[in-house]
A and B are shown apart, each in its own frame.
Chain A
Amino acid sequence: MNDSLTLDTAEASRNENVETAREASSIELHGLHKRFGRHTVALNGVDLTIEAGEFFTLLGPSGCGKTTLLRILAGLEEADDGRLAIGGKDITEVPPHKRSVNTVFQSYALFPHLSVRENLAFGLKMRGLPPVEREARVAKIAEFIKLGDLVARRIDQLSGGQRQRIALARALVNEPDVLLLDEPLSALDAGLRSQLQVELLRVQKRLGMTFVFVTHDQQEAMVMSDRIAVLNGGVIQQVGPPREVYEHPVNAFVARFMGHDNLYPITARQGNRLTTPLGELVADQAGEGDLLLIRPETLDLLPGEVAGDNHLLAVVNERLYRGSHAEYRLEVGAGTLQATLNNRGRHLPEVGDRVTVTVAPDDLVTLSE
């Protein structure tokens, strides 16, 4: 297939989309509470503003409330308390079939009694669009998502990845104010998953539509998102762009959830000089917190014993060679430390080597439990 040609037509259909679609919509949530039964608190006071045209991700472990929040946006669940507005209009009481919001479900939820084409046209038909217009819009979206001859197939003739794309097209064809995605890639294998991540991101950027994406995978969240909200126990822990959430987590939960293991209690401090089980370290931005975060990739290993500020003596306990980089587990002072070293052809210390760990003062982050 001629790639530039398809890109051009996709671009053209995008422009038409922009003509017919409304402006991208913002989302405002105020004081959302939701309980299931007496004891399960799903959301405990969520306030959040999602900007128009943003790729926004709700990230957290299972049971953190992210899916409940998405379902409240879709109208499939009613909040016990709080308000919800999309595009400045309060829709707290509006039933799901009257909301200009569409969802890509985790199980895809394609109707088995309908063909792919009928699935794509379902929302338009329910809104009473005449058949001619339905067909035109379905054809347009099929071209935009590059569905090709999938449109003529039956649902049971589709693979997982194909179902995922049909589910996406079925939601997008309605040109909703907001698109909601409930772990849409979690059922796919790793290769297909990263391919569809890129595709999804491209679609969102071209349409400029507001996407709210739910995932428990922090890697996926970082790749896709303009901003991430990390949830735990029905409460938003932190909201920010991926770099901010990864590099400056506000508490231990966010840090651990973003994949950080090197967290150490600060037992004493003198100005910027922090005492930890590893030894004494100097941090540029020594905030209030009582925990020190050291990211493995900010560390460097020098052979032998070198003295200086932020130079710690260590013994290599374990080395995992991964080709592009190597992961180290080091014994430092009264603790262990993980370090990641890029493989730039230099010497990679081996297990049992005595080394010196160094870290720049501005790479150290303090946070509270």
Chain B
Amino acid sequence: MRKRTLKRGLTAFWWFTLAFLYLPLAVVVLFSFNASNSAASFTGISLRWYTRLMGNEEILSAFANSMILAISSSMIALGIGCLIGYGMYRHRQRKLGWLIVLIYLPIVLPDIVFGISEMAFFVQVHRLTGLLQPGLITMIIAHVTFQIPFVALIVYSRFVGLDPTLFEAAKDLYASPTKRVIHFMLPTIKPALISAFFLSFTLSVDDFVISFFTAGPESATLPIYIWGAIKKGVSPEINAIAALMIGAVAVAAVISLMFSRRRPA
């Protein structure tokens, strides 16, 4: 009997935790379909806020910025992180603990510290050279910087999971260095690369703090737009944007998870 009570208690706790995590999200999604203007009462289902979104130039431009930023930074981070991950694998026998810590550091560093540092750096570079005016370019650089460690670690762990003899088998079977990359390494780590890309993508779309510090006047992303709009009061439009972002990030996260789990035997 006691065992059953305990089991029921734990089940209840599980549902409570889930509710705690997802109810706020559910509220936002629900109110994005609210027919009324008021955030206080739900009066009926309507798509009016979504249609309003489509007519708002500012929101569309913020959406475009978010996409340009997320896709280009993820692509660049994928290229650089992939090389770093392979380098870490190739030289794993050497004592590289300090290097691994250096690569982990941006992951654990508070975003606000990271954002301020990036901003200070870009300001100095701009002062000295006239380059790197705050805008999409500086944001892309900042995002690439915090995405690289994730990509490198995902690629590294994929390589570590491989039978090292495979590299020798490729050499033995007449594959030149270039052909080893094209026909062995890239196809073998493809799931890891896809997973890393979508993880980078969600990290970029989610980011507010670092974007906020490195953005220029023309380069507001969705989170920055929401931040600005909320200062004028919460409009149901914001709920609609948030609901769309939840959807997009969820899809990207699920894709990333699917490919990180899928590993050829």
Given the known A-B contacts A125-B183, A126-B179, A156-B265, are A109 and B163 also in contact in the complex, defined by CB atoms under 8 Å?
yes
Q: Within 8 Å CB of A109, what residues of B?
A: 163, 165-166, 168-169
Q: Within 8 Å CB of B179, what residues of A?
A: 97, 126
Across the interface, do A174 and B166 meet the contact criterion of CB distance under 8 Å?
A: no
Across the interface, do B264 and A126 meet the contact criterion of CB distance under 8 Å?
A: no
Q: Within 8 Å CB of A106, what residues of B?
A: 165
In the docked arrangement, what's the CA distance between A180 and B11, Å?
59
Is A123 an interface residue, CB under 8 A from the partner? Answer: yes
Given the known A-B contacts A105-B165, A156-B265, are A75 and B171 also in contact in the complex, defined by CB atoms under 8 Å?
yes
Chain B residue nearest in CB terms to A105: B165
Q: What total of A-B pairs shows CB separation below 8 Å?
A: 74
Chain A nearest Cβ from B112, distance in angstroms: 42
Partner of A105, one of B168, B174, B190, B264: B168
Given the known A-B contacts A105-B168, A107-B163, A109-B165, are A123 and B173 also in contact in the complex, defined by CB atoms under 8 Å?
yes
Across the interface, do B165 and A107 meet the contact criterion of CB distance under 8 Å?
A: yes
Chain B residue nearest in CB terms to A156: B265
Across the interface, do B166 and A76 meet the contact criterion of CB distance under 8 Å?
A: no
Interface size class of A (residues with CB under 8 A): 20 to 34
Chain B nearest Cβ from A238, distance in angstroms: 29
Across the interface, do A113 and B188 meet the contact criterion of CB distance under 8 Å?
A: yes
Residues 74 to 115 of chain A near chain B (Cβ within 8 Å): 74-76, 95-98, 101-103, 105-107, 109-114
Across the interface, do A155 and B265 meet the contact criterion of CB distance under 8 Å?
A: yes
Is B187 an interface residue, CB under 8 A from the partner? Answer: yes
Chain A nearest Cβ from B179, distance in angstroms: 6
Chain B nearest Cβ from A49, distance in angstroms: 23
Across the interface, do B265 and A123 meet the contact criterion of CB distance under 8 Å?
A: no
In the docked arrangement, what's the CA distance between A109 and B167, Å?
9
Give 11 A-B contacts (CB < 8 Å), ordered by A residue.
Answer: A74-B172, A76-B172, A97-B174, A97-B179, A109-B168, A110-B169, A112-B162, A113-B264, A114-B187, A122-B173, A126-B176
What residues of chain A have their CB less than 8 Å away from a CB belonging to chain B? 74-76, 95-98, 101-103, 105-107, 109-114, 122-123, 125-127, 154-156, 170, 174
Across the A-B interface, give the 10 residue pairs with the lowest CB-CB distance, nearest first.
A156-B265, A109-B169, A123-B173, A112-B264, A109-B165, A126-B174, A96-B171, A126-B175, A113-B187, A103-B172
